Each structure stands twice: as structure tokens, then as C-alpha cells.
């Protein structure tokens, strides 16, 4: 187990980036082989728009990594946080760490991104995509991504998450993000049982419906437990979903300049 965790702790940046594009590439292959719906769009142009947002997220991630390196050192030195106060097997601590980070940095942060007006304005950019595919998982306004990083850092401090555990969580998050957004058909006999524990492609599509109540559902990223526990779980036929968001024009979903300005546009009215 120590060697397994050491691998993630010493993983060079190029391997992490390679993992991002490997997950994206596999998702693209699956989209071509078993698409959920037919999306009438220029796939490479659409990807180019969303990869611009990926580039800003990578820069923010790098800056946070540099700025918060001392947090992991401080936590280990003073043994501060929940995991340091427990005496569990390493595998159990790793599982608990991933679950707690998924709860705080994904479910709670995502819930607030929908319920707090100024946060929702940033998160609108993610929902404005009218052709949801694997690259949509990378489509986060810089303000949206910073909010998520702050919640992740809060989780690291409070729960005493070691660096290796945190990096494993990030690697797992990348895989789930691409697969759950991918435009792929997953048979109900497989998807529905998996959704008892994990976020699945069919399940996540409802979160990208253009209007509530489906938009305000299925907030999780890895585990579906939180949505089931807090009453935000929805499951139906994903082909009923219409992508986009009802307060923005569908015609502007690939206008990068407009999308970056969305959070600051006072003419965009929302119910939050």
C-alpha cells in the first residue's frame, strides 16, 4: 500500500497531464462507438472552446499547488485533522479521505454553486453547454474553479488529508468527470446498479437539463451516496434531457468571450 501511495505522491506533472488526455481520449472513442444521442455539432470546434477553459483550470491548479504546498507539510508536522486522530488501516483512511473530499469539495461546493447567486453566475458557464460531451467536464469558468479549489483546501485542512491521498482523489475525480459527461450509451442493467454507489453517465445527464428541478439534482462527482442521503438524487431516461440553461441563449454557448463575461453581466437574471 505504501508503494501504491508513493506512486501518486511522486507522480510528475507530465504524467498527471497525460492522465487527463488519456481519460478524455478514451471517452471520445466511446462517444464515437456508442453515442447516447446524436449531437449535430462540429466536435473539434466544440472541444476547442471547452479546452480553453481547461487551460485556465490547469493554471489555477498549478498556482494552488504551489501556494498550498506548505499546508500538507504543516498538517503532517502537527498531525492536525480528523485522519490524524483516527487509528485505521491505510486502505480505510484512503477510502475515508476520498469520500470526505468528494462530500466537501464536490457535493457541498457544487450545491452552493447552484444556491448562492454570485456563485451560480460563475457556474452558469458550465451549464451553458448545449452539446454535453466529455469535454464539458473541463468547462469551468476560472471563478467556478477557484471556488472548488478553496473547498478542496478546506477539506484537506479539516480532515488532515495527506498529499498522497489528495493526489489519488484528484486522479479519480478526473476519470469520473470525463466519463460521466461523455455522450455514451450505458445500458440500464449496468448503469442503474452502479448508480447505487457511484455517479454514472446516465445519472449525471439530468444535472445538465436546461431547467429545474433536474438542474438542481445529482451534484456528486464520484459517489451517489450524498445525493441519495440529502434528497437530490434523480434517475430516469437520460434521452429526456435537453442540454443548456434557460437563462442564457443557446446560440452563444461557444462564444468564449461572452462566456467569460457571463458572471459579470448584470442583464442576466436568475432566480437565485
Q: For 173-232, how does the pLDDT look when each residue is reduced to its tens digit (9 = 90+)?
A: 999 999 999 999 999 999 999 999 999 999 999 999 999 899 999 999 999 999 999 999
The reported pTM is 0.93
The three-state secondary structure class of 243 is strand
- The answer to whether 209 and 245 have CB atoms below 8 angstroms apart is no
- Closest Cα partner for 98 from 214, 206, 197, 233? 197
The highest-confidence range among 8-22, 74-88, 113-127, by mean pLDDT, is 113-127
- Closest Cα partner for 165 from 178, 175, 152, 147? 152
Interatomic CA distance for residues 47 and 226, integer angstroms = 30
- Closest Cα partner for 99 from 178, 155, 179? 155
Of the ranges 52-56, 82-86, 167-171, 201-205, which one carries the lowest mean pLDDT score? 82-86
Mean pLDDT of 72-93: 88
Mean pLDDT of 43-63: 94
pLDDT of residue 272 exceeding 70:
no
pLDDT of residue 77 exceeding 90:
no
Of the ranges 23-32, 75-84, 111-120, 221-230, which one carries the lowest mean pLDDT score? 75-84
The highest-confidence range among 2-6, 17-21, 266-270, by mean pLDDT, is 17-21
The dihedral sign for the CA sequence 40, 41, 47, 50? negative
Q: What is the pLDDT of residues 84-104, one digit of tens each?
A: 898 899 999 999 999 999 999
The three-state secondary structure class of 203 is helix
Set of cell numbers at residue 218 = 445529482
Per-chain mean pLDDT for the chain = 93
pLDDT of residue 42 exceeding 70:
yes
Query: Chain centroid to CA 124: how far?
Result: 14
Q: Looking at residue 151, what is its pLDDT?
A: 95
Mean pLDDT of 96-123: 96
Count of helices and strands (H, E) across the chain: 13, 0
Angle at CA of residue 130, ends 125 and 133, nearest 5°: 95
The residue ranking higher by pLDDT, 9 or 53, is 53
CB-based contacts of 36: which residues, under 8 Å, 6+ apart? 183, 184, 185, 201, 205, 238, 239
Report H helices in 79-208: 82-85, 90-101, 109-115, 117-127, 142-159, 163-181, 188-194, 201-205
Q: What is the pLDDT of residues 1-14, one digit of tens each?
A: 777 878 888 888 88
Amino acid at each position: 500500500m505504501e508503494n501504491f501511495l508513493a506512486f501518486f505522491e511522486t507522480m510528475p506533472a507530465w504524467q498527471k497531464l497525460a492522465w487527463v488526455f488519456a481519460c478524455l481520449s478514451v471517452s471520445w472513442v466511446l462517444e464515437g462507438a456508442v453515442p447516447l444521442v446524436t449531437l449535430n455539432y462540429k466536435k473539434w470546434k466544440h472541444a476547442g472552446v471547452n479546452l480553453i477553459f481547461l487551460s485556465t483550470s490547469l493554471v489555477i491548479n498549478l498556482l494552488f499547488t504551489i501556494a498550498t504546498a506548505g499546508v500538507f507539510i504543516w498538517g503532517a508536522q502537527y498531525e492536525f485533522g480528523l485522519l490524524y486522530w483516527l487509528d485505521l488501516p491505510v486502505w480505510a483512511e484512503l477510502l475515508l479521505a476520498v469520500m470526505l473530499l468528494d462530500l466537501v469539495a464536490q457535493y457541498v461546493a457544487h450545491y452552493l454553486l447552484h444556491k448562492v447567486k454570485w456563485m451560480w453566475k460563475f457556474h452558469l458557464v458550465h451549464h451553458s453547454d448545449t452539446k454535453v460531451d466529455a469535454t464539458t467536464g473541463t468547462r469551468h469558468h476560472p471563478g467556478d474553479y477557484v471556488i472548488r479549489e478553496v473547498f478542496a483546501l478546506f477539506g484537506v485542512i479539516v480532515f488532515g488529508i495527506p498529499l498522497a491521498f489528495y493526489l489519488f482523489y484528484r486522479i479519480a475525480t478526473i476519470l469520473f468527470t470525463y466519463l460521466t459527461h461523455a455522450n455514451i450509451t450505458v445500458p440500464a442493467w449496468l448503469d442503474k446498479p452502479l448508480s447505487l454507489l457511484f455517479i454514472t453517465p446516465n445519472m449525471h445527464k439530468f444535472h445538465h437539463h436546461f431547467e429545474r428541478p433536474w438542474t438542481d439534482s445529482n451534484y456528486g462527482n464520484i459517489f451517489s451516496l450524498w445525493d441519495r442521503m440529502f434528497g437530490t438524487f434523480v434517475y430516469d431516461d437520460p434521452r429526456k434531457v435537453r442540454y443548456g440553461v434557460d437563462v442564457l441563449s443557446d446560440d452563444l454557448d461557444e462564444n468564449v468571450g461572452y462566456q467569460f463575461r457571463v458572471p459579470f453581466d448584470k442583464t442576466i437574471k436568475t432566480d437565485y
